[in-house]
């Protein structure tokens, strides 16, 4: 989709010719603006091989993205498909790309109920057996990547929609103990990495899941266990998104219990068909995340979008009727949200006196 000038104008976009997202984020005082990516040829990245050279040029541009995350490659299903059998091929693709292009690597995710190897769910576990399986998994995976992961999403989505613990195989066998074991083990294996609790639906202050995330992290802290950050996935909706003040208030709640937070999987889905109004709402939503992070930069370290190119987004596959959630359309023209963020970063930098904290 090629955007008309009027569409750009509608979105309040004043093109700033050369400024790009990561360089602006750093000027505004964040550590990074990043994009997650998947292994070429797999899953959402199966089609469009003809787009790869243009895609890679954007992904690898150090001014655009200073951080990356493998969207799939380090998940249990792929790294330990059989008990004790490890395969780091897919995780290495993104870890190597980060190294080659000088990007911060967020690693994702050690323990999660989804995309779990089938054997974990079909085994009739004793408590001791499952403890050993968790410890072996974390020891091998976090051990293999030790020194390369700035952050680890140690535990992903352990809360149900009502804010109580999700009844995963881990919880059903071990109860809350599995959460402590997971973080304790990660801290032993990779003490330098920032250890995160990561979840979706924890971006609004009044959400029961936000309260659950605070409770979960506090439980770990009270037990003397290392946890450094809360990752707000931020899979948001263009037509109903949190205000900047809501996001700031939520970050304030996490600040009571952890040193840092990050927006870890940002995308803003639109109900298709896409139109100017919806792109405008989307642009506002992306800008609110930028504003909230920059205005709390003592705790908010950075923003990661969950891929950047619409054809490689997970959204249309998982939420039929939704799409266009990222920043580049199929023809590589940019969404209004891109210039919206560039302009807002510019204003925020200006308001700080134009100073860059890490130039």
Binding site for ligand XIL (CB under 6 A): 43-44, 71-72, 109, 156, 200, 233, 265, 314
Give least dist CB 273 to ligand XIL, A.
23
**DSSP per residue over 289-351, as a string?**
HHHHHHHTTTTEEEEEES-SBGGG-SHHHHSTTEE--SSB-TTSPBPHHHHHHHHHHHHHHHH
Give Cα separations from 196 to 67, 125, 188, 227 (angstroms): 16, 27, 15, 6
Give least dist CB 129 to ligand XIL, A.
26
Give least dist CB 81 to ligand XIL, A.
16
Q: DSSP state, 193?
A: S
Residue nearest to ligand XIL (CB): 314
Cβ contact 298:349 at 8 Å? no
Cβ contact 223:216 at 8 Å? no
Q: β-pairing, 104-111 with 67-68? A: parallel
Farthest-apart Cα atoms in the chain, separation: 63
Give least dist CB 69 to ligand XIL, A.
9
Give least dist CB 98 to ligand XIL, A.
17
Nearer to ligand XIL, 43 or 221 (CB): 43
Nearer to ligand XIL, 71 or 168 (CB): 71
Question: Which residue out of 23, 80, 157, 244 is catalytically annotated?
Answer: 157
Give least dist CB 57 to ligand XIL, A.
22
Question: Which residue out of 44, 64, 244, 265 is catalytically annotated?
Answer: 265
Nearer to ligand XIL, 63 or 113 (CB): 113
Nearer to ligand XIL, 23 or 157 (CB): 157
Q: Give the phi and the psi of residue 48 in degrees, each rounded to 5.
A: 60, 40
Residue indicated by tokens 């939704």: 322
Give 242's Cβ-side CA count (13 Å radius).
24
Whether 121 is catalytic: no
Q: Give the phi and the psi of residue 224 in degrees, each rounded to 5.
A: 75, 25
Nearer to ligand XIL, 315 or 342 (CB): 315
Collapsing DSSP to helix, strand or coil, 21 comes out as: helix
Whether 64 is catalytic: no
Nearer to ligand XIL, 28 or 95 (CB): 95
Point out the residues that are catalytic.
Answer: 157, 265
């Amino acid at each position: 989709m090629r955007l008309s000038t009027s569409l750009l104008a509608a979105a309040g976009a004043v093109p700033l010719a050369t400024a790009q997202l990561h360089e602006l984020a750093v000027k505004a005082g964040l550590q990074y603006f990043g994009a997650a990516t998947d292994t070429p040829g797999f899953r959402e990245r199966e089609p469009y091989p003809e787009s790869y050279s243009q895609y890679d040029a954007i992904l690898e541009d150090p001014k655009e993205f200073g951080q990356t995350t493998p969207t799939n490659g380090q998940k249990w299903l792929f790294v330990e498909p059989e008990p004790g059998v490890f395969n780091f091929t897919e995780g290495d693709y993104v870890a190597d790309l980060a190294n080659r292009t000088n990007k911060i690597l967020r690693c994702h995710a050690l323990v999660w109920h989804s995309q779990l190897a089938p054997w974990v769910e079909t085994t009739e576990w004793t408590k001791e057996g499952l403890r050993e399986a968790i410890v072996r998994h974390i020891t091998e995976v976090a051990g293999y990547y030790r020194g390369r992961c700035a952050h680890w999403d140690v535990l992903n989505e352990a809360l149900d929609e009502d804010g109580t613990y999700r009844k995963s195989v881990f919880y059903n066998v071990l109860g809350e103990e599995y959460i402590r074991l997971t973080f304790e083990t990660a801290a032993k294996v990779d003490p330098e990495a920032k250890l995160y609790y990561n979840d979706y639906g924890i971006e609004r202050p009044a959400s029961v899941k936000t309260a659950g995330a605070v409770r979960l992290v506090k439980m770990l802290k009270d037990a003397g266990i290392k946890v450094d950050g809360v990752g707000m996935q931020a899979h948001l909706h263009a037509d109903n998104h949190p205000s900047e003040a809501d996001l700031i208030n939520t970050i304030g709640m996490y600040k009571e219990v952890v040193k840092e937070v990050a927006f870890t999987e940002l995308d803003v889905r639109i109900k298709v068909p896409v139109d100017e109004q919806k792109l405008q709402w989307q642009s506002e939503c992306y800008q609110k995340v930028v504003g909230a992070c920059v205005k709390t930069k003592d705790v908010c370290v950075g923003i990661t979008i969950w891929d950047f190119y619409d054809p490689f987004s997970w959204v249309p596959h998982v939420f039929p009727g939704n799409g266009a959630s990222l920043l580049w359309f199929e023809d590589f023209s940019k969404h209004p949200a891109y210039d919206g963020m560039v302009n807002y970063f510019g204003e925020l930098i200006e308001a700080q006196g134009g100073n860059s904290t890490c130039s």
